[in-house]
Amino acid sequence: MNMKLSFVPLPHPVKIFLTLLRVEPLSGLKKGLPLWGIAIFGLALGLGGCAGNDPSTHTLEKLENGTASTQVTSEEVSPEEEPRPSDDFVDPFDDSPTETHIVEYDPLEPVNAAIFEFNYQFDKYLLKPVAKGYNFFVPTDVQQSIVNVFQNVRFVPRFLNNLFQAKFRGAGIEMSRFLINSTLGVGGLFDPAKIMFDLETPLEDLGQTLGSYGVPPGPYLVVPFYGPFTLRDGFGFIGDTFLDPFNWLVLPIFEIADAPRLIQHDPTIAYARFGLTVEESVNLRALTLEQFQGVEEGTLDLYGAIRNGYLQQRQKAIQE
Domain positions in the chain: 3-319
* Segment holding 266, helix H or strand E: helix 266-287
3-state SS assignment for residue 311: helix
Q: Sign of torsion, CA 121 53 6 235?
A: positive
Q: What is the rounded distance in angstroms from the CA atom of residue 135 to the CA atom of residue 155?
A: 27
* 289 within 8 A of 135, measured Cβ to Cβ: yes
Q: Output the pTM of the full model.
A: 0.71
Give the up-direction half-sphere exposure of residue 119: CA atoms within 13 A in the CB hemisphere. Answer: 26
Res 53: pLDDT: 46
pLDDT of residue 252: 86
pLDDT per residue of the chain (320 residues) written in tens, 0 to 9? 555 554 444 444 443 333 333 333 444 333 344 444 444 455 445 444 343 344 433 333 333 333 333 333 334 444 444 444 444 444 544 544 444 678 899 999 999 999 999 999 999 999 999 999 999 999 999 999 999 999 999 999 999 999 999 999 999 999 999 999 999 999 999 999 999 999 999 999 999 999 999 999 999 999 999 889 999 999 999 999 999 999 988 888 877 777 777 787 788 888 999 999 999 999 999 998 887 776 776 788 999 999 999 999 999 999 98
Looking only at Cα atoms, what is the longest distance across the chain? 66
CA distance 190 to 186: 7
CA terminus-to-terminus distance, the chain: 38
Rounded alpha-carbon distances, angstroms, from residue 252 to 11, 51, 97, 262, 273: 12, 12, 48, 9, 9
Q: What is the pLDDT of residue 32?
A: 40
pLDDT at 127: 95
Q: Provide the angle, in degrees to the nearest 10, between the axes of the packed helices 35-46 and 302-319.
A: 120
For 94, which DSSP code? -
- 50 with 11: CB under 8 angstroms? yes
